[in-house]
Amino acid sequence: MKRRAPPQAGFTLLEVLATLVILAIGLLGLARLQIAAMQYTHSALLRSQALLLAHDIMERMRANRTLAAAGAYSTEYETQIQTPPDCLTLTCSATQMVSYDVAQWQADLASLLPEGSGAITMLPSGGMERLLGISIRWNDQRKTNVSDFTTFSWSAEL
């Protein structure tokens, strides 16, 4: 009587290799997903910072409403501001306060946002109200073209 070979038990080397390849591809996909989530979270943080900085300059302008309505706060991107007096320790006039506010705002933009800068413009309005346009731009490294800037624009009544 002939003996039969026992049936195979366990995995072959080929099955183990295929399982490892599938597992590796899955783990790489999860790592890419985690990296994308971190990039989008950072982008959302920068957008939140831009919103807070827009509110900051708006409140500074509301505190100095007369000169703000006259357009004294109007500025363009990358505007170089003369070194203003330190209005925290000195008594400043309303005009000096405009320089101080814009310089502080531009410094905050540059320090909190990568390559951040801002512009303030008076918008045309049909009524007695004065509308302000605040635009903030920064370099969002999440984009494929590094020279592209993300722009956040906000308008409000003074």
Express each pLDDT in 50-81 by its tens digit: 999 999 999 999 999 889 888 899 999 877 77
Q: Please tell me the distance from the alpha carbon of residue 68 to that of residue 10, in angstroms, as a whole number.
A: 80
In the predicted structure, residue 150 carries a pLDDT above the cut 80: yes
Instruction: Write down the domain spans for the chain.
Output: 13-157
- What's the whole-number mean pLDDT along residues 26-52? 94
Q: Please tell me the distance from the alpha carbon of residue 133 to that of residue 122, in angstroms, as a whole number.
A: 6
Residue carrying the six token digits 């900085």: 53
Confidence (pTM): 0.77
Express each pLDDT in 87-125 by its tens digit: 888 899 999 999 999 999 999 999 999 889 999 998 877
Q: Residue 100 corresponds to which amino acid?
A: Y
Q: How far is CA 118 from CA 6, 8, 59, 107, 108, in A?
A: 78, 72, 15, 10, 10
b (16+ CB within 10 A) / e for 55-81: ebbbebbeebeebbeeebbebeeeeee
